[in-house]
Amino acid sequence: MDADKVFKALGDPTRRRLLDLLCERNGQTLGELCDNLDMARQSATQHLEILEAANLVSTVKRGREKLHFINPVPLHEVYERWVRKFESQRLSLLHDLKKELEGE
Amino acid sequence: MDADKVFKALGDPTRRRLLDLLCERNGQTLGELCDNLDMARQSATQHLEILEAANLVSTVKRGREKLHFINPVPLHEVYERWVRKFESQRLSLLHDLKKELEGE
DNA sequence: ATATTAGGCAGGCAAATACCTGCATGTCAA
DNA sequence: TTGACATGCAGGTATTTGCCTGCCTAATAT
């Protein structure tokens, strides 16, 4: 997994919206996704390309349509490698702050 | 929580590195953090400002030093609102794909 | 067969981003 | 008090990003 691509992909609200849309109904076409986006089709295409490069979305061609499927695996890996690590610090934050304010 | 600020903040590798550094040792000064970054001090400052605006880092002044503390709460909220939601789709992906390829 | 529809390709532009340098301020220590 | 050190402030620039328009191809429908 390319963590940088995943984080960059998630860094844009339009792309998170796309993932949301696919979460509501998986396998939507480009056109269907565009209907919910308020931007030109080509702009949406570029966002979907970024999501695909990050492996967050997979596509399948069916006739002249392109179907989009969400892939949650990279998100889980991001969580495992990044979020959990920082969560374990949670309880110690206030303690650290206090110690520092007291001049250690 | 401003989800957009958090995601944007996490979208840069330098800022993730900063969080990593603070995870190793909380409460580091700007100078200490810079020593591990290979960029000008002012660049690091800008990254830290973004992390602070996203509430991922809190700072305390002690004399002429500025101490930085990681705040894992927004990360947990991001996980709750975003990652878990998509994880629940995991098992259905292959099923959806199969269905679509068969022409539904 | 031809019109319509779904999507791809190429290029162009303005704003945001991630760097930088130079100078100013405030704190500590000799 | 004066020099060294930690950080803040103010631009300046090159690259990336997100959006667009215009045209092209391929598949379906009439």
Q: Domain with A29 in it: what CATH number? A: 1.10.10.10
pLDDT in single tens digits along all 104 residues of chain A: 899 999 999 999 999 999 999 999 999 999 999 999 999 999 999 999 999 999 999 999 999 999 999 998 888 888 887 777 776 655 455 555 555 555 44
Residue span of the structural domain in which B86 resides? 3-101
Statement: residue B98 has pLDDT above 60: no
Which among B19, B75, B97 has CB closest to A87?
B75
Residue in B16, B78, B86 closest to A23 by CB: B86
Query: Cβ neighbours of residue A15 under 8 Å, at least 6 residues apart?
Result: A9, A47, A50, A51
What span, in angstroms and rounded, lies between the C-alpha atoms of A8 and A51?
9
Chain B span 54-83 residues with beta carbon within 7 Å of strand D: 64-66
B chain contacts of residue A4, beta-carbon cutoff 8 Å:
13
Nearest CA in chain B to A90: B72
Q: What is the rounded distance in angstroms from the CA atom of residue A59 to the CA atom of residue A30?
A: 10
- From the list B20, B101, B43, the residue with the least C-alpha distance to A69 is B101
Q: CB A96 to CB B10 under 8 A? A: no
Tell me how many domains chain A contains. 1
pLDDT at A77: 84
- What's the CA gap between B65 and B39, in Å, rounded? 19
pLDDT at A24: 92
Distance CA B78, CA B2 (A): 10
Nucleotide D10: nearest residue by CA–C1'? B42
